[in-house]
């Protein structure tokens, strides 16, 4: 990876909570992680380790480079290895955002974050079914509830990761496996009927969703995702940010994002329309700006109780 690579900061957007059964980062500051998922050829475990080659080391006389050692295990190993450049964000090009015309308008805290996190890339993980399901689980509930539901369902209906994977690493369910989840387990996971129905619709379209991974970012991709009943703009954006590394997708309709952007850029909360206006100068890079906002350490002041978790298990 020319110019360095921050594995943890780049790929953390793909992990659905620290207890995500399908993805585990090494503890502490160690730069490595495991992933488990399904490819066209079957399940795979992927091990990624970040290394740095310093200028002048060995036969290398060029600039410092971020090296990522990748090992794959299982029937889907070859497919997974072929997709690694996209997964790591190798083609994620930030040079447009670094143009003077755009940087001159960025707040200082965003510029500082850019200087501190130049090795961050937006991953394009593919796996549209997995990330669309994760997004649907997060509709209209707290992040904690959504992460618990993902952990519960993947742990029970996924399959153990192949190869020398750590204990508990699990391949998320395939479309067929999602379709076989009994109704009472949706309730035990805290997933209401509306969201479970949408996930089942996604599962029925698993083959078509795999083909969407090859489409470029843009309106066509978004409209195809939103053709599935139950998938709206927020869910589509949350999905393509991860599946395609969409540099411009922002999650309109998010419970927190507009308020966060408003406070970070203007010192007061705004609604979705206000957020869109604030980010308009960086159209084409709005997701990059949002990522830098959160990487900067910005946290919005809290003046009211947080959204309380709802319990759907007994309804």
- Whether residue 183 is found in the same domain as residue 230: yes
Phi, psi of 80 (to 5 degrees): -65, -40
- Is 308 inside a domain boundary? no
Round the average pLDDT of the chain to a whole number and report it.
91
- Whether residue 239 is found in the same domain as residue 279: no
- In tens, the pLDDT along 126-176 reads 999 999 999 999 998 999 999 999 999 999 999 999 999 999 999 999 999
Q: 111 is written with which tokens?
A: 């510029």
- Whether residue 112 is found in the same domain as residue 217: no
- pTM to 2 decimals? 0.90
- Whether residue 116 is found in the same domain as residue 72: no
What is the predicted pLDDT for the residue at 61? 39
- Is 310 inside a domain boundary? no
- Is 315 inside a domain boundary? no
Report the number of distinct structural domains present in the chain. Answer: 3
- SS3 of 271, please? coil
Q: What gap in Å lies between CA 117 and CA 111, rounded to an integer?
A: 10
Residue after which a domain boundary falls, among 243, 265, 283:
243
Residue after which a domain boundary falls, among 46, 76, 91:
91
- Whether residue 196 is found in the same domain as residue 137: yes
- In tens, the pLDDT along 28-72 reads 766 799 999 999 999 999 999 987 655 444 444 344 567 899 999
- Is 292 inside a domain boundary? yes
Please check the confidence at residue 312 and state whether its pLDDT lies above 50.
no
- Whether residue 100 is found in the same domain as residue 71: no
- Whether residue 204 is found in the same domain as residue 104: no
- Whether residue 153 is found in the same domain as residue 194: yes
What is the predicted pLDDT for the residue at 63? 43
What is the predicted pLDDT for the residue at 102? 87
Query: Hunting for tokens 């869910």 — which residue is that?
Result: 235
Q: What gap in Å lies between CA 254 and CA 204, rounded to an integer?
A: 27
Q: 87, 114, 131: which is closest to 294 by C-alpha?
A: 114
- Please give the radius of gyration of the chain, using alpha carbons only, rounded to the nearest integer: 20
Residue range of the domain that includes 295: 92-120+250-302
- Is 309 inside a domain boundary? no
State percent of the chain over pLDDT 90. 81
- SS3 of 11, please? helix
Residue after which a domain boundary falls, among 219, 243, 267:
243
Phi, psi of 20 (to 5 degrees): -60, 120
- Is 311 inside a domain boundary? no
- Is 98 inside a domain boundary? yes
**Domain harbouring 232, CATH code:** 1.10.340.30
- Is 181 inside a domain boundary? yes
- Whether residue 171 is found in the same domain as residue 132: yes
Q: 183 is written with which tokens?
A: 């109704």
253 exposed, middle or buried (CB, 10 Å; 0-12, 13-18, 19+)?
A: middle
- Whether residue 213 is found in the same domain as residue 162: yes
């Amino acid at each position: 990876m020319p110019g360095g690579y921050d594995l943890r900061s780049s790929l953390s957007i793909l992990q659905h909570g620290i207890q995500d059964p399908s993805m585990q980062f090494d503890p502490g500051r160690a730069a490595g992680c495991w992933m488990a998922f399904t490819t066209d050829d079957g399940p795979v475990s992927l091990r990624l380790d970040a290394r740095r080659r310093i200028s002048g080391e060995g036969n290398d006389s060029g600039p410092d480079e971020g090296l990522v050692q990748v090992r794959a295990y299982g029937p889907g190993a070859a497919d997974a290895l072929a997709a690694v450049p996209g997964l790591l964000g190798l083609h994620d090009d930030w040079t447009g955002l670094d143009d003077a015309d755009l940087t001159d308008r960025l707040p200082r805290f965003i510029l500082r974050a850019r200087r501190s996190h130049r090795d961050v890339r937006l991953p394009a993980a593919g796996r549209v079914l997995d990330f669309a399901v994760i997004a649907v689980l997060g509709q209209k509930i707290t992040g904690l509830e959504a992460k618990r539901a993902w952990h519960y369902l993947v742990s029970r209906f996924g399959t153990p990761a192949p190869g020398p994977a750590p204990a508990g690493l699990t391949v998320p369910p395939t479309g067929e496996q999602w379709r076989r989840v009994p109704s009472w387990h949706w309730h035990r996971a805290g997933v209401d009927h509306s969201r479970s129905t949408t996930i089942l619709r996604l599962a029925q379209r698993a083959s078509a969703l795999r083909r969407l991974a090859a489409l470029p970012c843009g309106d066509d991709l978004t409209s195809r995702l939103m053709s599935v009943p139950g998938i709206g703009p927020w869910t589509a954006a949350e999905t393509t940010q991860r599946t395609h590394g969409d540099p411009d997708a922002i999650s309109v309709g998010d419970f927190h994002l507009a308020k966060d952007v408003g406070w970070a850029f203007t010192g007061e909360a705004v609604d979705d329309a206000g957020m869109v206006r604030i980010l308009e100068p960086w159209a084409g890079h709005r997701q990059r700006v949002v990522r830098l906002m959160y990487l900067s350490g910005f946290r919005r002041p809290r003046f009211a109780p947080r959204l309380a978790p709802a319990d759907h298990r007994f309804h």
